[in-house]
């Protein structure tokens, strides 16, 4: 079993210690090959907000080569771990920069069937906001979130009782991830993800010359076919499909009220409104 741990942290810090313990527990359950990918070893300049990845294509990103190397590793792995300590009630800057660079996957998801686990060294007061950016990306990019675990590691010597509590928490988490990786599950998207599919494909239909990469993607996966319900074949109930279709039509009406159709039809690049 091949697992890739994408580490937005120091190599000798608390988050690394947590993931290494998590790895040792998984290896006690069966054969595991876990690769540590420290983002600090993959120098990627800050996202400049050009939006080339979203509107034109990810290969037009000025940092595409470095990002592609990481994404290829994700695609060749059975499971993924995203790990970051809590910095100012969020992920680290280096993790956020990585998520910014792969955010185009929220428009053109490709990680269907991949399972992911989120780990953080933070306190319970940071948990929600630290996991927020990682969870938002994993959900929209097509991953199945197997679980998430935070461990508070104060810079003080814990007694055995406290250490054992944290070990027990990680033991349970590792077992859960291991069990999920061994299970072949049917794709069952939640309502929110179904609606996003419908909304995005309609936005692209409205503005195909601007949303070129997305429009090409939706045409390629035959999203505009009459019977298309989602990005890939999945279990989607009749009610979910009908409700998402209703929301799609409602959104299309609302969006068309906001835009200048004449200007829109004449645009072939990213448009910036002037105030």
pLDDT tens, residue by residue, 104-149: 999 999 999 899 999 999 999 999 999 999 999 999 999 999 999 9
- For residue 187, the surrounding DSSP H or E stretch is none
**pTM across the whole model:** 0.93
Lowest mean pLDDT of 18-27, 66-75, 179-188, 193-202, name the range: 179-188
Is residue 6 within 8 A of residue 98, CB to CB? The reply is yes
Pair (160, 33) in one structural domain? yes
Give the number of domains in the chain. Answer: 2
Pair (71, 169) in one structural domain? yes
Pair (201, 166) in one structural domain? no
Of the candidates 9, 25, 12, the residue with the CA atom closest to the CA atom of residue 130:
9
Pair (221, 260) in one structural domain? yes
Task: Establish if 41 belongs to a structural domain.
Answer: yes
CATH number at residue 97: 3.40.50.360
Pair (132, 56) in one structural domain? yes
- State the pLDDT at residue 197: 96
* CA R_g for the chain: 21
Pair (170, 207) in one structural domain? no
Pair (46, 127) in one structural domain? yes
Pair (112, 153) in one structural domain? yes
Is residue 114 within 8 A of residue 143, CB to CB? The reply is yes
pLDDT tens, residue by residue, 178-209: 999 999 878 899 999 999 999 999 999 999 98
Pair (64, 199) in one structural domain? no
Q: Residues of 10-29 as b/e, b for ≥16 C-beta within 10 angstroms? A: eeeebbbebbebbbebbeee
Q: Which domain holds residue 130?
A: 2-181
Task: Establish if 150 belongs to a structural domain.
Answer: yes
pLDDT tens, residue by residue, 225-250: 989 999 999 999 999 999 999 999 99
Last residue of a domain, one of 181, 203, 222: 181
Taking 80 as the threshold, does the pLDDT of residue 266 lie above it?
A: no
Last residue of a domain, one of 160, 181, 202: 181
Of the candidates 138, 145, 149, the residue with the CA atom closest to the CA atom of residue 172:
149
Pair (109, 225) in one structural domain? no
Is residue 82 within 8 A of residue 116, CB to CB? The reply is yes
Last residue of a domain, one of 151, 181, 211: 181
Is residue 268 within 8 A of residue 262, CB to CB? The reply is no
């Amino acid at each position: 079993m091949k697992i890739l741990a994408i580490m937005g942290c120091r190599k000798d810090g608390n988050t690394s210690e947590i993931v290494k313990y998590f790895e040792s527990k998984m290896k006690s359950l069966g054969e595991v090959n876990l690769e540590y990918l420290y983002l600090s070893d993959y120098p990627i300049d800050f996202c400049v907000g050009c939006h080339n990845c979203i509107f034109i294509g990810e290969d037009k990103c000025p940092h595409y080569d470095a990002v592609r190397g990481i994404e290829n590793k994700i695609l060749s792995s059975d499971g993924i771990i995203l790990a970051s300590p809590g910095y100012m009630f969020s992920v680290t800057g280096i993790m956020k920069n990585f998520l910014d660079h792969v955010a185009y996957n929220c428009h053109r998801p490709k990680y269907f069937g991949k399972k992911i686990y989120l780990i953080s060294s933070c306190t319970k007061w940071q948990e929600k906001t630290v996991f927020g950016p990682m969870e938002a990306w994993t959900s929209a990019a097509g991953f199945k979130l197997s679980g998430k675990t935070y461990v508070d590691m104060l810079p003080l010597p814990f007694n055995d009782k406290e250490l054992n509590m944290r070990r027990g928490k990680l033991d349970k988490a590792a077992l859960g991830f291991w069990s999920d990786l061994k299970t072949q599950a049917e794709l069952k998207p939640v309502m929110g993800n179904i609606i996003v599919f419908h909304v995005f494909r309609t936005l692209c239909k409205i503005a195909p010359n601007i949303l070129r990469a997305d429009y090409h993607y939706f045409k390629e996966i035959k999203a505009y076919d009459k019977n298309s319900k989602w990005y890939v074949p999945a279990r989607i109930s009749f009610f979910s499909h009908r409700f998402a279709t209703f929301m799609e039509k409602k959104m299309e009406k609302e969006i068309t009220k906001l835009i200048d159709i004449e200007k829109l039809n004449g645009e072939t690049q990213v448009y910036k409104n002037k105030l």
